[in-house]
């Protein structure tokens, strides 16, 4: 069973995913910017980012926080994200890289 803080963190990231989906659906650059600011604020406060790379910018196609990656020659997508982005997210989670 999840603790209250784990449950709150899961709810927070679910909400962030919903906001990212809305930003994608409406192509709202301001909402993507807000997602980035919120994500940086909570992760700098100690809340770890979820796996998958969605909440870090992509080093390949420059997709911003919450935005899906775009196809780039020589860099195939893996479940909507470039493997390099997923790897960056894992490094940030492990505190091996700063939050971009």
Count other Cβ atoms within 10 Å, centred on residue 70.
14
Sequence ranges of the domains in the chain:
4-93
User: What is the distance between the alpha carbons of residues 59 and 74, in angstroms, rounded to a whole number?
Assistant: 14
CA distance 93 to 47: 10
Asked if pLDDT for residue 1 goes beyond 60, the answer is: no
pLDDT for 2 equals 63
Task: Please check whether residue 65 is in contact with residue 39, taking contact to mean a CB–CB distance below 8 angstroms.
Answer: yes
Separation of first and last alpha carbons in the chain? 32
pLDDT in tens, 49-97: 888 899 999 999 999 999 999 999 999 998 889 999 999 999 988 888 8
pLDDT digits (tens, 9 = 90+) for 28-57: 999 999 998 998 888 888 888 888 899 999
Rounded to whole angstroms, the Cα distance separating 29 from 31 reads 5
Give the residue, 99 or 96, on which the prediction is more confident.
Answer: 96
Q: What is the mean pLDDT of residues 1-23?
A: 88
């Amino acid at each position: 069973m999840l603790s209250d803080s784990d449950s709150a963190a899961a709810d927070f990231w679910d909400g962030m995913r919903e906001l990212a989906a809305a930003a994608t659906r409406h192509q709202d650059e301001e909402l993507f910017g807000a997602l980035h600011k919120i994500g940086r604020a909570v992760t700098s406060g100690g809340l770890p980012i979820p796996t998958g790379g969605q909440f870090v910018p992509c080093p390949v196609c420059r997709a911003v926080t919450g935005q899906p990656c775009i196809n780039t020659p020589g860099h195939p997508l893996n479940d909507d994200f470039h493997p390099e982005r997923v790897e960056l997210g894992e490094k940030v989670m492990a505190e091996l890289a700063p939050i971009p």
